[in-house]
Structure 1
Amino acid sequence: MDEDNKLQFPSLPATKEDLLVSTAACRHVHCEILPGLFLGPYSAAMKSKLPILQRHGVTHIVCVRQDIEANFIKPNFPHTFRYLVLDIADNPVENIIRFFPMVKGKDTCNSHLSCSECPVLVHGNAGISRSAALVIAYLMETFGMKYRDAFSHVQERRFCINPNVGFVHQLQEYEAIYLAKLTIKMMSPMQLGRSFSLPAGMPGSRKRSLEEDEDFGAMQVTAAQNG
């Protein structure tokens, strides 16, 4: 890839030291992972916590649960905050990679999970495994971080995080996946043609369209899960 087309990522912003909490307390409150990005348990999004959420300027909430939890983990302020509800089981065989684009997508604060205009709280039941994995993936893709560095950054601010072993393996695989997708997006049509066309004369020789490149990224996700 040309020098001008190398992937560039923003620097990781710092949080305020006085926002860090003890290991015991972090199981009951949300923690600021980045300015405007909070991670916590469901108890941090209950009705009694509305004044705290408003004081921190939260405008968006990512609620992580599975069907059997829907009766007790639910959006409590549908008219106050914008919600993204994800059906994810805290199970090592759950394919959590497929949810990463949704968390960073257009439905979550105009394609930015964390920004000054719309602070976001990400919560599951305990704020330890599923929601933590989503936040780690966001840091990896947004700031070009390796899994171990993103994990360490989140754990320093919320000590009790512990993604299950299946999520850890998927996060480790995700680095290659998101880098490949970003590289494809940055390549010119001519570069794409050179990268994805078969040698002249071979059956089925053609250039991939941009739409097909998205399918190629999806195939990588499937391959990572089946590998």
Structure 2
Amino acid sequence: MGNGMNKVLPGLYVGNYRDSKDIVQLDKYKITHILSIHDAARRLHSDKHYLCIMASDSPDQNLTQYFSLCNDFIHAARLRDGNVLIHCLAGMSRSVTVAVAYIMSVTPLTWREALKVVRAGRAVANPNMGFQRQLQDFETYKLVEERRRLKERYPSLALADSDLAECRVMLDSYQDMLKQKTICEGKCAMGRQCPTGVCRTGSKRQPRTRRPSGAAGAEARSAGLKRSPSTLSTSSTASGYRPRSSPAGLYSYTGPTSRPTRSTSGLSVTRVTDPVSGGTAMAVGGTEYSRRRAASAPATPALSPASSPPGSPHRAMHRGNCAWIIPTLKWDDELM
């Protein structure tokens, strides 16, 4: 996790939060676009294009809803000879899941094969089990449609052959690394040392606390033992509790927000405009925690508009609780 960002495809890198702040690395790999996906994702560099997605590293966090948005951001940047960094906090779970979904969508690979490609480039890649199930469900139910959508939206085949050839090289490299025991599939037995540190094999199981039973248990319950605050009750649901996968609220860093509107997907959407550069961005979703962080965050300097080649396929989209902050693009009203 501390060895810097890693290339998984030409023009596509995966790293952690520290890598996203490292100007030397960003310049070294000529990063032009940054996809930031973690609990407090925000723009850090005024000269980069950003896609910021607020998402936790929790098995019940729904990342599938962002796959199409992320695919558009990554693919359009690579078609324009841009270099994309996908990062979360550790560069192991959320960022890897997004990279795997993209590789699946632009190649014939399955989710397991795509994960091997990412692991060949970044040995610590290890999405949590919830994200792995989401990738499997995405392959089963939505992948065919997503591949068709990408081909219709980006008819250029400039990356198709090179991506597939690179994936084959990475898969061969993965098998060699397995034989040399320099990489792990995440299945090390308890008590055995993992060669890459991916597996949590050094931890010991903690003894479970037994609840008192019989007369002692009755006395404890009658004495008014309180429930654990982590227990979700029906009253908390009724009072407005929302799970992590159901975002609510808005945030933005690019200027004053306009009146919220209602999108066809049922999520509140706010259009924001940069008063200096005139660029437009979209702010969608976020939790109460993220709104407080956004309110206390320092103001982000406006970007100067960059030139975009005519007929560029790089169009704006929005899904879920994310903010796509790309001042050089205009948003299509019909997408609202």
TM above 0.5, yes or no, is: yes
For 1:62, the equivalent position in structure 2 comes to 35
| Counterpart among 128, 135, 138 of residue 171 in structure 1 | 135
Q: Assess if the C-alpha contact under 8 Å between 2:6 and 2:122 holds in 1.
A: yes
How many percent of aligned residue pairs carry the same amino acid?
27
- Mark the structure with the bigger radius of gyration: 2
C-alpha distance after superposition, 1:178-207 (max 9, x if no partner): 2144458989xxxxxxxxxxxxxxxxxxxx
1:137 aligns with 2:137: no
**What does 1:18-167 correspond to in 2, within 5 Å?**
26-46=1-21, 49-66=22-39, 70=40, 74-77=42-45, 79-105=46-72, 108=73, 111-112=75-76, 114-115=78-79, 117-167=81-131
- Provide TM-score, normalisation by structure 1: 0.61
Report the residue type matching 1:166 in the other structure: G
Q: SS of 2:8's equivalent?
A: strand
Segments of structure 1 that go 5 or more residues without pairing to the other structure are: 1-25, 188-214, 216-227
CA displacement at 1:65 relative to structure 2: 1.3
Higher relative contact order (CA 8 A, sep 6+): 1
Distance (whole Å) between structure 2 residues aligned to residue 45 and residue 186 of structure 1 = 30
Aligned residues: 152
Secondary structure, counterpart of 2:91 in structure 1: coil
State the AA in 2 paired with 1:75: R
- Measured after TM superposition, the shift of residue 55 of structure 1 is 2.2
More helix by share: 1
What displacement does 1:114 show?
3.5
Contact 1:141–1:175 (Cα < 8 Å) also in 2: no
Kindly provide the CA deviation profile for residues 91-140 of structure 1, in whole angstroms up to 9, marking residues without a partner as x.
101111001011112xx25x435346110000000000000000000000
- The alpha-carbon distance between structure 1 residues 97 and 113, as it changes in their structure 2 partners (threshold 3 A), is farther
TM-score, normalisation: structure 2? 0.42
The alpha-carbon deviation at position 52 of structure 1 amounts to 2.1
* Structure 2 gaps, min length 5: 153-264, 266-336
Query: RMSD between aligned alpha carbons?
Result: 2.3
Cα distance between partner residues in 2 of 1:94 and 1:150: 21
Q: Tell me if structure 2 keeps the 8 A contact 1:39–1:122.
A: yes
